[in-house]
Amino acid sequence: MINLITTKDLKEGTSRGIEIDNNFLFAIKKDDLYHVYWNICPHIGTPLEWQEDQFLDDDGELIRCATHGALFEINSGKCLAGPCIGKKLHKIPFEISNDMITVKESDLKPPSRF
């Protein structure tokens, strides 16, 4: 398993960018649930954050892409508004053990399509 981030480093209502061996991901904690996605917008494949570790909109209710402003549901990654409407961010399966969010090495393969 590969360690991504400790749960202590991901406060409620915040997001964090994560880089592991040139793989770019981000994690969110919202309503006591954790979510991990590839940092790849399904529109044209750019990173989503508008500033370091800032992946959410002003209200912290949706994920927002900085490039063209697409908005995504936090739970599902589904694009609700913007040029990639109907597409989804790619989730990564993870586990939490001893306060550490981890992923399987075999799951760290970037999606071939976005």
Residues 38/20, Cβ–Cβ less than 8 Å: no
Q: Minimum distance from CB of 71 to ligand FES (Å)?
A: 9
Q: Minimum distance from CB of 68 to ligand FES (Å)?
A: 3
Q: Minimum distance from CB of 74 to ligand FES (Å)?
A: 16
Closer of 5 and 84 to ligand FES (Cβ):
84
Number of Cβ atoms within 10 Å of the Cβ of 65: 25
- Interaction of residue 20 with ligand FES, rule CB under 6 A: no
Q: Which amino acid is at 1?
A: M
Closer of 68 and 109 to ligand FES (Cβ):
68
Closer of 89 and 103 to ligand FES (Cβ):
89
Q: Are strands 2-6 and 100-103 parallel, antiparallel or unpaired?
A: antiparallel
* Per-position b or e across 17-54, b if 16+ CB within 10 A of its CB: bbeeeeeebbbbbbeeeebbbbbbbbbeeebbbeeeeb
Q: Which residues, numbered 28-87, are part of the site for ligand FES (CB under 6 A)?
A: 41, 43-44, 46, 65, 67-68, 70, 82-84
Interface residues toward ligand FES, by CB under 6 A: 41, 43-44, 46, 65, 67-68, 70, 82-84
